[in-house]
Each structure stands twice: as structure tokens, then as C-alpha cells.
Structure 1
Amino acid sequence: MNILSDISKEKAYLLSVRRHLHKNPELSLKEFATATYIEEQLDSFGIAHHRVGETGVLGIITGNLGRGKKILLRADIDALPIHEKTTSPYRSQTPNIMHACGHDVHTAALLGAAKVLQSQSDTFAGQVLLVFQAAEEFGHGSQFFLAANVTQGVDRAFGIHVSPEYPVGTIAMTQGADAASCDYFKITVKGKGAHISKTHKGIDALHIASLIVTELKILVKWLLDPLEVALIGVGKISSGTSYNIIAEDAVLEGTTRTFSYETQALLQQKITELANHIAVEHGGKATTAFETFTAPLINDDTAFDEVLQIADAIVGKENIVTDSNLITGFGSDDFAEYLKDIKGVYIHVGTSNDTNPDTQQSLHSSKFDIDEEALLIAASLHTEYALSFLKRKNPWIYSI
């Protein structure tokens, strides 16, 4: 690996930041101490910053060579409601809350990159926007930055996620679709209560809900082109008050995932129609509500090629996975929202090794951990891409 020498010098700093954050996790929209800690670090580097929403932080590094392009580097900062079961000395000190998705790593890597980029601000023009985003797990954290017009005039966006599916020293990145959209839906079914022995006097909302779940399982198969990939899943159903009462109400909660904006809208329409049809057919009524958490995450080809060169320089071609069949999945990330208006790319940095079984645990596992050498790779990617992009000649640069 060809780790940037300035990043290598910051290894102790990267480890201390990551371990501090890992020991002190906070849930989505409650990252108050985390945001304050990030601000303290930025202050120590002399980087201007301000809050976005209550717990998001935007840092701004301005190059000293004049006006130029803008690049947005993003890290998510929230944790998950999981009780940590590792035995590491830096394990979570907060019961039932844990950085089980690597957001502590993302934040530490971006802070390490920020420190180096600020120290090299005399070498480039333009701006680096450091987005420390709250509430990625909640699905709406990016909206605070979009509402604040942070993306206006930005030329590139870059994001990283750790991955235990790949060994440390490996980078996975794909052209086109990387992650799926995520829509939440709730279907409320209204029936009529009665004694379980008097079925003719009631309308069984639980039965209707069960039929809806069954039909949703096969909806994708007949609705879409066989080559198009989408998913409808129901994760929760609530209904009934007693074993001998026909359920008057039922509530289904689920999600749709797809890699197409058009399919995202089509699924909402067809789920609504299906629920209404089944409910009416059995004498009930169904109301469907949707909430879009994030769009499909689609990498830009130009940004992909730019980052591929940087990744090659850091880990070598033989350690880069680009096969979309191995990378693209139904997981989602609201980094996708930045890519609606900005050319950018989202990549995965391997974090597992053969000596520590916890590094091989999946994301969102109570035993999730990483090989911390991945911090150097992630920080180097942020740093090198920003410097490479901003140092390129362009007609907008002028001398101060």
C-alpha cells in the first residue's frame, strides 16, 4: 500500500479519534457530544465550521491559490441501538448504543484528512466541504445539508463506507448503481370487530392484511421486467386484541428497494392499488402512506474513473474490486441524495483480517469491529482525491 506520508504520520491521531467516538456513540439526531467533539477538532486545525441542523457539522477548507472548484467529502456520525458485545478496550461505554456500522471510522478518517488538507491549503485553489452528517441510519440526515444549499456549486462528492466483506487493503467500487433506494410504507387496514364465532358479523382486518402480505411477495415478479431488480419486504404486522375477537384493525410496515427512480415511483403506485383492491374485495378499507428515506445511489462514471486512479495509487489494481455483481446490493445510504445534483462516487474500504474474528462480523452486528489499518486507507482516499481534483488546471482559478 502506498499510504500518503502525511496521513501515515497521523496514525496515532486517527486511532485516538476513532476509539473516542467508538466509546461514546450517540443515536440519530442525538449526536450532540459527537458534533461538539468534531467542532473541537476542526477548531484545533484552524478550519472554519458551522452547524447544519442541530447535530450536523460543515467544515470548510479554502485553498490559498484563489478561486477554484469545490469538492464535498462526507462522513456519517450516528450510531445504532445495539448493545456491544466485543471485549475491546474501546468498546461502547453507553448501554444499548454502538457504532456497529463504522460511522466512527468514517468520521475519524475525514477528520484525519481534514487535518492534512488544511496543512496543505497553500497548494490548491477552491474549497473542500467537510460534511459530518447526522442521522444516516434514520435516513434523513442528508436533507439538512440539502436544505442549507450546501451542495450548490459543488463539482464533486465523495463518500466512503467500511466493509467487513473485504480484507483490509482492499477497495470495492462500482460504476453505476451501488446501493438501492429505500422507501418506508405503512398500510392501515380497517375492518369490523365481532366475536370470532360470528364471522358473518365482522370484517377480519388481520385476514385482509395477511392477503396483502402474500400478494406483495409476488408483486415484483409480474410488475417488472425480468432484468430489473427490486424488492418489497414487510417487516412488521400489528393486529388484534384477543384470540377470540375478529381483528378490527391491522397495520403493516415494510420497505421497497430498487435501483431506478422510475421503479421507485411505480412500486408506490402499485402497492397502494393492490392494498385497496384486496381490502375492498373483502369488505374493508386500506390506507397506504409512504416515506422516502433515500434515492438509489448511482455513481457517476467520470468520478468513478478519477477515484479509481487514486485507489490504484494507494492499494494497487490487484486489490480493487469493481464487479458490480459483488458490490451492488439492496442496502441503502442517503449519500445518494448528494449524487442527484453532483458528480460523485461512493466506495467501500475493506476492514477485515484473519486474526480478529470481530473484524469479520457483518455490519450492524453486536460484535462488529475493524482492522484499524483501514483508517489510513480511508483518510488517504479523502485526502488524495481532494488534492488531485482541486489541483487540476481549470479556467476559474486566479491568483489572489
Structure 2
Amino acid sequence: MNLDIKEYIEKEFYYLHSHPELSYQEYETTKRLKTDLQDSGIEILPYHLDTGVVASIGSGERTVAIRADIDALPIHEEADVAYKSLSDGVMHACGHDSHTAIILGAALLLKQHEQELKGKVRVIFQPAEEAPGGAGKIIEAGALDNVSAIFGIHSAPFFDVGTLGILAGPTHAAVEKFELILEGNGTHAAHPNLGKDTVLIASHFITAIQSIVSREIDPVDSAVVSVTHIQAGNTWNVIPQSAYLEGTIRTYTKKARALAKKRFEDIAKGIASTFGISASMKWTVEIPATFNDYKLEQLARTTALEEGFIVEDAPRSLGGEDFSLYQEKIPGFFILVGTGKSFPNHNPRFRVAPEALYPASKYVAKLVRKYLES
């Protein structure tokens, strides 16, 4: 297929932005990507995936992977763009549409020079990063088999177009999501002595767990413990039987992660015992920290400079990213792409400058070519 790749991926970006789909619901996005790849003569690999696509370019023993995430968020768009979301309450507010367009562009460029490749490039369009954990579905399908390294990209609305954020070591935090149910005894609000007040007990618990960060995690480590959802009772004169709490823990190091989780469980059990109630909890999300391979940093930086990018140290973030699941299996590097100054990710007015797409595609294509040659 003879095409202007820059124009093509910008058109696909506009379509994807207008037609966002939530995690594990990316059926139309998957169909469109398969058509894009097949029309370009790119081989789609037969992995069993309900949503998401894995493709292959090149030949040989050595394989490197590139990854984009394809899901959107349950946010109503307020950005003033001509290609605004057509799905009410759903928006590409984290830039996954731009990631998809960039990696698609890189795949098309690599296909044009397929005979020159010194190995194979596995192209991963991953579902459900926001769930999070869609990376686990890709791994379970076998898409990392025989892959020696993986590269990923993410939109950065705090960098101008033409800037890349590159940093080795931990860049995004480990993510734990907890759910805790405190079960006491309901009673009349005028007679608290006849029950076990789960609202009071939940308040003690919320205060106590803040000591994990302030008094137990090494002060030079970054960590956050946040209760973000509390549900208890439904009227003014009844002490509720139970309280439901939900939230997250964010850490960088394995030591801090293990300590924070253990102390969280200890405090939940201790508070329950102290007040004579029961507590049941579960970790519903457990994603490790993103850790960029030190050996790949120089390649990422030198390639960026060769392509005319300004290179900045990527800021570390306590936000999570399930790209880390790949990095637990193989060396990987996650790069921030400046997409123009904008409202932050997950904001209803977030936007990506389309002119950021094609230069990033060229960069990713050159990066994996150089990796295979190294």
C-alpha cells in the first residue's frame, strides 16, 4: 500500500479519538487496527485475544517488541477539538489514541524497510491498561515469547512537541488497590453502647494507616496511602452495621511495597481486634513499579538526539502503568513523548497535538532498528 504515513496516522488518530472504547470493550478499535495492518501487508499473529492485536514484521531469530495501549476512560470530553468523542461519557483522556497512532506509524515505517531489519519486531496493541492489567492478557497469550526487549511510549502534556522524557530506573509506582469491609453491630444512633460503630472504627483506621508513610517507610522512598471511597449507613439516626473502604497504595521499591502492604493488613486486623469487630480485605489490583532498564537508556537517548528531539529526564510519577508487567519478564524501556502543553492526563480537557505523532513514529522505528543491529 503506497501511502503518506504522516497523513494516514493523523487520520487514524482523529478516528480513534472520536470513537473511544473502555477497557476490555475495544472491539471496534481492534477491528480497525487489524484492517490497518492487513492492508499494509503486516502479519497478524494468531494469539487468542478478545480485544487487542499483536503483529510481526521482519524475520530472523532476534525479536524486539513495541507496545501501545488502546483503551479509553469513563470521562466526558470537554476539549474543544473538531474530532471530539462521539461516545457520551467516554474519552481518550490519557492519550492512548496517540500511543496507538504512533506505534501504528512505526509499524508502517518498519514494514517499508522490512528487508533491512536484522530480526523481528513484535507490535503489540494492548487492551485495558486503565483496568489496569491488560498487559497480563498479552503475556498470558504468549506474545512475549522469544522477545528480548520491549519499548513503550506515553503522552506527556507537560512537554512541548519535540521533547522526549527518558530516564532509567523506576519511573512509575507500584499500584495496589484495596477493598476493606468492617463488620460491626448496627444500632440506634441514640444508643451507641448497644452496637459497634463502624463509622468511628473506620475513622480510626484511616488515621492509623497514614503512619505507614510518615513513620514506617524510609523517608527517602516515595509512597502514598489513600482511602478514596467510603460507604457506610444510609440515614441519620442509625449507626451502620458495616463500612466499606476502598483506595490505593503507591510505592517505588520492592522493600517499601512489601512493608506497606504488610503494615496495612496488620493495622486492619489490629483495629478490628481492638474494637471487637471483624475485618475482611482483599487486594484487587497489584501492579509492580515500572523500571526502565539501565542498559537501554543510552540507546534511547542517542536515538532521540539523532532524530532531533530535545531530551529531558522523565519526571518520576506515583501514577501506575502496567507496562511494568512486561518489564518483570524482559528488559524494557518506557519513554515519555511530548504532546504539547495541555491539561493533564485524565482531565476532560486533555488534548494531544497531532504534530507530535509522526516524529515519534520515526523515533520508535529507528530505536528498534538500532536495537536489532546492536
TM over 0.5: yes
**Does the CA contact (< 8 Å) of 1:234 and 1:253 recur in 2?**
yes
Offset at residue 266 of structure 1 (A): 2.2
Q: 1:13 aligns with which of 8, 25, 28?
A: 8
322, 341, 364: which is aligned to 1:382? 364
**Residue matched to 1:203:** 196
Name the SS of the counterpart of 1:92 in structure 2: coil
Give 1:62 shift: 2.3
Structure 1 runs (4+) deviating above 4 angstroms are none
Deviations 1:86-131 (A, max 9, x none): 2311111111111111000000111111111111110023211111
Q: Which runs of 5+ in 2 are unaligned?
A: none
For 1:333-364, what per-residue CA distance to the aligned partner results, in whole angstroms no more than 9, with x for missing partners? Answer: 00011111211210101111xxxxxx511111
Task: Work out whether residues 67 and 124 of structure 2, in 8 Å CA contact, stay in contact via their aligned partners in 1.
Answer: yes
2:250 aligned counterpart, secondary structure:
strand
Q: Which of 283, 299, 311 does residue 320 from structure 1 map onto?
A: 311
Contact 1:52 / 1:58 at 8 angstroms: preserved in 2? no
What's 2:51 paired with? 55
Matched residues in 1 for 2:95 and 2:359: separation?
14
From 344, 348, 366, give the equivalent of 1:366. 348
Residue 330 of structure 1, aligned match among 308, 318, 325: 318
- TM-score, normalized by length of structure 1? 0.90
**Which residue type is aligned with residue 15 of structure 2?**
H
Q: CA deviation at 1:22?
A: 0.5
Q: Does 1:279 align with 2:272?
A: yes
1:235 equivalent in alignment to 2:222: no
Task: Name the CA distance, whole Å, in 2 between partners of 1:294 and 1:315.
Answer: 34
1:206 match: secondary structure: helix
TM-aligned CA deviation for residue 244 of structure 1: 0.7
Residues 259-297 of structure 1: CA distance to partner in whole angstroms, max 9, x if unpaired?
122322222211111011112111211112112341100
Distance 2:208 2:201 in 1: 11
Cα pair distance change 1:172/1:380, threshold 3 Å: same
Aligned length: 371
* Contact 1:293 1:334 survives alignment (8 Å): no
**1:136 Cα deviation after fit:** 0.3
Report if the CA contact (8 A) 1:75-1:107 is conserved.
Answer: yes
Note the aligned Cα RMSD (angstroms): 1.4
Residue 11 (structure 1) shift: 1.3
In the alignment, the residues of structure 2 paired with residue 103 and residue 293 of structure 1 have an alpha-carbon distance, to the nearest angstrom, of 21
1:268 lines up with 2:261 in the alignment:
yes
- Residue 355 of structure 1: aligned partner: none
1:217 maps to which residue?
Answer: 210
Q: TM-score, normalization: structure 2?
A: 0.96
Give the C-alpha shift of residue 9 in structure 1: 4.6
Q: Percent identity?
A: 32
In 1, Cα distance between the equivalents of 2:253 and 2:57? 35
Structure 1, unpaired ranges of 5+: 1-7, 353-358, 393-400
* Per-residue deviation, residues 295-335 of structure 1 (Å, max 9, x unmatched): 1000000111111111111134xx2112x6xx001011000
Displacement of 1:52: 4.3
Distance in 1, matches of 2:308 and 2:192, equals 67
Contact 1:68/1:390 (8 A) holds in 2 = no
Partner of 1:288: 281
